[in-house]
Structure 1
């Protein structure tokens, strides 16, 4: 039986925020941004809300019909060179998120700047910003179904895809879907690694 997927709208905001918060509470990168457990419980939902609002406005969020998993996508245009206007707006983004979520936490801004610095810009592509699966539903193939729905379109339209894996476990999943390491590993200061990964369009998935 296939997984039913729909596009989330503004009315799904709270569902998406709650889902991402639950899914990423124990993620290594979330633990680096908010090292204290109590601080993470209190402030992590605000960061997930900021991300949700950005993608609802500028991208697309796919969610399973039962609300147990979601994927946040942005369609990124090709950039032949730096654009002063867009660059200025991009520079402001991480600072604005920090100001909105926790002005005293410089890591909120730093993670945005570090990931932006390694993001490929030469070709148009689909960017998987985040994918979250409810803790009790992980391992059921829901994340794979969400990603494959977009990758199938990427293959049809000859579009690459890009993401940053935030754990060794997720990196293995993405490799099975055709993603490959796209440059040096991003080692967060005194923190975990993130793996930039790129997928060329085509029949990539390895047989089970």
Structure 2
């Protein structure tokens, strides 16, 4: 069996490329924009301006290559107004007509996040599904975090994986004319 190793990274090119690959067929990503050509820029903008913190991202290595990525925001992380404004041009170029849907996601899920301090698993994606990359990324992340954690699962098939690590579905949010998203919470 090939082992998955988790190492820290701050390489924005690697992070955004892996997320674009991992989320290429994600129901919510495709609801926001049907054109995958903007995915790398969308994730680059998201990670650079919304999830930039002192916490390095978890990079999964498998069989000599990049296999997946996890982006965690620490408790108390907030996106500054300046960074929100800096993100707009990237999102407009990446999402084009999907910009309204992207804004809807942000507005909806920012209101659903827990009020108490918590770790936020913003993105977790594996390039190759079903080989343990997601499990390895979650093991590394959950071992490091202290206290509660929160995520939004954009794919119902991933819920059992998150449940194995103590996350529980809080509710199901049906997007207008689109798929569902499942906010999940893990007590500390």
Give the TM-score category using the shorter length. 0.7 to 0.9
> Aligned pair count?
181
Quickly say closer, same or farther: Cα 1:87–1:169, change in 2 above 3 A.
Answer: closer
* Cα displacement (A) at 1:62: 0.7
Match of 1:51 in 2: 46
CA contact (8 A) 2:46 2:87 kept: no
Give the TM-score of the pair, scaled to structure 2: 0.84
Give the TM-score of the pair, scaled to structure 1: 0.76
SS at match of 1:67: strand
Report 1 or 2 for greater relative contact order, CA contacts < 8 Å, sequence distance ≥ 6. Answer: 2
CA contact (8 A) 2:50 2:83 kept: no
Match of 1:41 in 2: 36
CA contact (8 A) 1:162 1:198 kept: yes
Match of 1:8 in 2: 9
Q: Mark the runs of 5 or more structure 1 residues left unpaired by the alignment.
A: 79-85, 202-208
CA contact (8 A) 2:49 2:83 kept: no
Q: Mark the runs of 5 or more structure 2 residues left unpaired by the alignment.
A: none
SS at match of 2:159: helix
Report the RMSD for the aligned CA atoms in angstroms.
Answer: 2.7
Structure number, greater radius of gyration: 1
Quickly say closer, same or farther: Cα 1:138–1:115, change in 2 above 3 A.
Answer: same
CA contact (8 A) 1:94 1:108 kept: no
* Cα displacement (A) at 1:70: 0.6
Picking from 172, 178, 183, the partner of 2:160 is 172
CA contact (8 A) 2:50 2:79 kept: no
- Pairing 1:1-208 to 2, within 5 Å after superposition: 3-9=4-10, 12-35=11-34, 40-54=35-49, 57-58=52-53, 59-65=55-61, 66-77=65-76, 89=81, 92=84, 96=88, 98-99=91-92, 101-102=94-95, 104=97, 105-121=99-115, 123-134=116-127, 137-154=128-145, 157=146, 159-182=147-170, 184-201=171-188
SS at match of 1:57: coil
SS at match of 2:4: coil
Stretches of 4+ aligned residues off by more than 6 angstroms:
none
* Cα displacement (A) at 1:45: 1.9
